[in-house]
Amino acid sequence: MKIRLRPRARSLAAPAALCLFAAAATGCSSVFAPEPQTDATASEGLPMVGVLVADGDHWCTASVVDSPGRNVIATAGHCVMNVTEDGTVEDLTEQDLAFAPDFQGAGKGKHPYGLWRVKGAYLDDRWKHQADDRADYAFLTLEPDGQGRNVQDVVGGSVPDFTSGFDREVTVYGYPDAEHNPDNQQISCRTRTSQDEQQPFMLSIKCGGFWGGTSGSPWLTDFAGPGRSGRMIAVLSGGETDDESTAVLFDEATKKVYETAVKAGQDG
């Protein structure tokens, strides 16, 4: 299955590429640099971060967000409902979607925590009807796995924050596409956000390496490593240059969509 997402200009500078694929040898995989990173690096990854999968293919990043039902993930709106260049709407929620936390490995890869089937998808009406960039986020509910476990009980999750400001330190995790990341490693970048000049409702970071495939990557504040993943204030939605990524800052409108997903997850 070929997923055609909105165009996003992405490239990876040579130093970042060396770090991405030689992290084990160089020791450059740490995300706790004393200064903001300017290029993403290979990471051991967070179990709560994974990929969306259909027919064995993956195309976007998603992650578990804390919820009472312990069964909700967050991603970008265009990862589940996309408007192509010719105006065609691709509604991926009509397919048999699944979430693979901590996905890794070349080709079809491995699913160390299994596949968690998507039960429902919840998007802002502004995205569904107008593809409004102000609402490029989505929350999905997942079914329990074959052992009856909810995903958050297995891999953890981050608390959503709908009241954050624009100037924050964040750690961003994601999966670049296989063309630039053949082993399907998670990458990460610890840096600072700012308010985007062109789209003031957006957060912006300057960190190279977030190619296509990283849409939906969580932006985490108060991050202190696995098990202390802090709070999610946004999910990656795009970027116009090689080293810049943008994300819609979660707000009250986002909270309403999240609450709709939470209620659906609790109602079963």
pLDDT recorded at residue 94: 78
Which of residues 139 and 129 earns the better pLDDT score?
Answer: 139
Q: What is the mean pLDDT of residues 162-182?
A: 94
> How confident is the model at residue 168, as a pLDDT?
95
Percentage of the chain beyond pLDDT 90 is 66
* Position with higher pLDDT, 174 vs 179: 174
Distances (CA, A) of 112 to 66, 85, 158: 21, 36, 20
Tokens describing residue 68: 């009472």
What is the arithmetic mean of pLDDT over 242-260?
95
Predicted local distance difference test score (pLDDT) of residue 9: 33
The encoded tokens of residue 65 equal: 């967000």
With a threshold of 0.75, does the pTM exceed it? yes
Average pLDDT of the segment spanning 124-135: 92
Query: Which residues lie closer than 8 Å to 138 by C-beta, 6 or more apart?
Result: 74, 75, 76, 77, 79, 80, 81, 121, 122, 123, 127, 257
Q: What is the mean pLDDT of residues 41-54?
A: 94
Average pLDDT over residues 159-171: 96
- pLDDT score, position 10: 33
Confidence of residue 152 (pLDDT cuts 50, 70, 90): very high
Place of tokens 């079914």: 143
pLDDT band at 86 (very low <50, low <70, confident <90, very high): confident
Q: What is the 3 state secondary structure string of 34-77?
A: CCCCCECEECCCCCCEEEEEECCEEEEEEEEECCCCCCEEEECH
